[in-house]
């Protein structure tokens, strides 16, 4: 399953119609979540939420204007959050969302306090399935036929949809971003590509000083896209704040057009940084996969690491999770083995003798007092990671965590319009 993305061009009324469709999809998603919370005595499943969409369409005229498959897609988003909540309860995941679980079942009366699943406030996409849209003969435009009035939108991009059959396109999503509107097409194809073996293995340590360091001593510096753009972002944020009116907020009035223009300029700068980081992680992950047959890396809990208020900004700027997602995707595509190993003591243990040598985060050189081995801290950790990865092969399979990535079972379009399958034009 792959996802192709195009920028769409239309008139102002068409953009307003897309916004209305997105609001309707958000409304249905929140209504389905509320329906599940209110009916805690009866078992509400995925199919019950799909049936509830028809009830909402008969009750609310604006909901009936949205395509029926788009309504079901919104209900599926709600069920995805609910199913994830139950799954976290069964796995006894630490955190607020697991505190209201008793014996693998959720206490729905405490759901509003836990905040999971959450009601959507600023949804940015609407998703259609097999109906409600139609591609032109040249595949350069798409027409939406529901009652929202979106109409025909031109597709701007370099991908060629003529190569695929219409039946292979499983979903079409309209996404709103700071720099315009986009259309995503989820296409059911086999992404596997046969490659020649390189007879090389590598262990990778993720860090802040170096983005990655491998067991051979090769390092890749951290680009720090956010840090380099921080002055511009802060300046744009100050300009936005100066145009914000507290009086209008108290009176519940809409802010001025100048405020929304400044807000959009600020959002576009953040979007640029996000795209820089994503493209960097793509290229680096592609290079690592093409050069090796086996890649071992740390199974980092990034969500827990960013709780450190001293390093949260640097960790978020690094984009470790994005790199791992692309590493696993390219590993699946090109038939390479990717192994996530536990990161415990990989930086502390000596790669030569195995003895534990405690060191602080500021200590960048590993010096073993037992055997005299001297090496860069990150390179020493990469050697330990590779050794753990090689010991994992043949026992737990490719994924040490035991869970297949989302792309291995189908296309996973994220609620904010992103996707881990959208390949770069340059790869």
Q: Is the pTM of this model over 0.85?
A: no
- Per-residue pLDDT, averaged over 287-300, amounts to 90
Question: Is 419 inside any structural domain?
Answer: no
Look-up of token digits 């695929």? 164
192 close to 333: Cβ distance less than 8 angstroms = yes
How many residues in total does the chain contain? Answer: 427
Position 357 in a domain: yes
Angle at 209 between CA 205 and CA 214, to 5 degrees: 25
Q: What is the pLDDT of residue 367?
A: 84
Look at residue 347 and give its three-state secondary structure: coil
Contact residues for 32 (Cβ-Cβ < 8 A; gap 6+)? 49, 52, 53, 74, 75, 78, 79
218 and 120 in a common domain: no
Of all helices (H) and strands (E), which one includes residue 275?
A: helix 257-291
Query: Does 276 lie in the same domain as 164?
Result: no
Averaged confidence pLDDT in the chain: 84
Shared domain check, 126 and 220: no
The predicted structure's pLDDT at residue 349: 86
Does 13 have pLDDT greater than 50? yes
Indicate whether 378 and 283 sit together in one domain. Answer: yes
- Which structural domain, as residue segments, surrounds residue 164? 1-189
Is residue 235 situated within a structural domain? no
Question: What's the pLDDT at 268?
Answer: 95
DSSP codes of every residue in 201-265: EEEEEE-SSEEEEETTS-EEE---HHHHHHHHHHHHHHHHHHT--HHHHHTT-PPPHHHHHHHHH
The CATH number given to whatever domain includes residue 336 is 3.30.420
Model confidence band, residue 232 (pLDDT cutoffs 50, 70, 90): very high
Same domain, 30 and 153: yes
Any domain includes 15: yes
Respond yes or no on whether the N-terminal peptide bond of residue 117 is cis (omega within 30° of 0): yes
Residues 292 and 156 in one domain: no
137 with 19, same domain? Answer: yes
126 and 90 share one domain: yes
Q: What percent of the chain has pLDDT over 90?
A: 46
263-275 pLDDT tens trace: 999 999 999 999 9
Residue of 331, 352, 340 lying closest to 392 (CA atoms)? 340
C-alpha closest to that of 46 among 22, 72, 20: 72
**Residue 135: predicted pLDDT:** 92
Residues 126 and 218 reside in one and the same domain: no
Whether 167 and 214 share a structural domain: no
Residue 140 lies in a domain: yes
Rounded to an integer, what distance in angstroms lies between the CA atom of residue 85 and that of residue 360? Answer: 37
Same domain? For 142 and 205 the reply is no
**Can you tell me the distance from the alpha carbon of 190 to that of 186, in angstroms, rounded to the nearest whole number?**
12
Identify the residue with better confidence: 409 or 104.
104
The answer as to whether 424 is a domain residue is no
Q: What is the pLDDT of residue 107?
A: 52
Residue 196 lies in a domain: no
Return the higher-pLDDT residue of 375 and 265.
265
pLDDT at 114 over 50: no
Is residue 121 situated within a structural domain?
A: yes
Q: What is the pLDDT of residues 136-190, one digit of tens each?
A: 999 999 999 989 999 999 999 889 898 888 999 999 999 999 999 999 999 998 8
End-of-domain residue from the set 189, 218, 234 = 189
Residue range 396-413, pLDDT digits in tens: 444 433 344 434 433 434
Buried b (16+ CB within 10 A) or exposed e, 56-81: bbeeeeebbbbbbbbbbbbbbbbbeb
CB 373 within 8 A of CB 353: yes
Half-sphere exposure of 275 (CA within 13 A, CB side): 12
Domain count along the chain: 2
pLDDT score of 98 more than 70: no
Q: Among 189, 217, 249, which residue terminates a domain?
A: 189
Beta bridge partner(s), residue 128: 172
| Judgement on whether residues 289 and 149 belong to the same structural domain of the protein | no
Which H or E run includes 294? Answer: strand 294-298
Report pLDDT for 238.
95
């Amino acid at each position: 399953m792959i996802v192709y993305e195009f920028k769409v061009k239309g008139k102002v009324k068409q953009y307003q119609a897309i916004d209305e469709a997105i609001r309707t999809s958000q409304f249905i998603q929140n209504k389905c979540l509320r329906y599940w919370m209110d009916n805690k005595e009866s078992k509400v499943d995925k199919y019950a939420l799909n049936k509830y969409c028809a009830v909402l369409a008969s009750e609310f005229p604006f909901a009936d204007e949205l395509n029926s498959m788009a309504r079901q897609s919104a209900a599926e988003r709600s069920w995805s959050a609910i199913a994830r909540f139950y799954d976290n309860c069964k796995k006894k995941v630490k955190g607020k969302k697991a505190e209201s679980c008793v014996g693998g079942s959720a206490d729905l009366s405490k759901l509003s306090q836990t905040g999971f699943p959450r009601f959507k406030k600023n949804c940015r996409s609407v998703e259609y399935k097999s109906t409600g849209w139609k591609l032109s003969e040249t595949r350069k435009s798409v027409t939406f036929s529901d009652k929202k009035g979106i109409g025909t939108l031109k597709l701007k991009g370099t991908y060629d949809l003529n190569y695929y059959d219409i039946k292979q396109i499983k979903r079409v999503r309209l996404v709103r971003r700071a720099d315009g509107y986009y259309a995503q097409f989820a296409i059911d194809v086999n992404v596997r590509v046969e490659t020649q073996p390189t007879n090389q293995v590598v262990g990778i340590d993720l860090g802040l000083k170096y983005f990655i360091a491998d067991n051979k001593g090769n390092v890749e510096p951290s680009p720090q896209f956010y840090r380099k753009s921080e002055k511009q972002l802060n300046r744009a944020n100050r300009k936005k704040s100066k145009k914000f009116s507290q009086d209008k907020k108290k009176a519940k009035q809409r802010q001025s057009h100048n405020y929304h223009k400044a807000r959009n300029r600020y959002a576009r700068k953040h979007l640029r940084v996000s795209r820089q980081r994503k493209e960097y992680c793509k290229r680096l992950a592609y290079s690592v996969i093409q050069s090796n047959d086996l890649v071992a890396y740390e199974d980092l809990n990034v969500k827990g690491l960013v709780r450190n208020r001293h390093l949260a900004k640097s960790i978020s700027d690094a984009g470790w999770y994005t790199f791992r997602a692309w590493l696993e995707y390219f590993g699946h595509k090109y038939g390479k083995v990717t192994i996530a190993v536990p990161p415990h003591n990989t930086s502390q243990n000596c790669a030569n003798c195995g003895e534990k040598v405690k060191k602080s985060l500021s200590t960048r050189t590993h010096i073993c007092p037992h055997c005299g081995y001297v090496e860069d801290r990150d390179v020493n950790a990469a050697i330990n990671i590779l050794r753990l990865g090689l010991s994992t092969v043949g026992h737990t399979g490719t994924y040490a965590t035991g869970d297949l990535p989302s792309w291995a079972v189908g296309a996973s379009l994220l609620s904010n319009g992103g996707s881990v399958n959208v390949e770069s034009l340059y790869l």
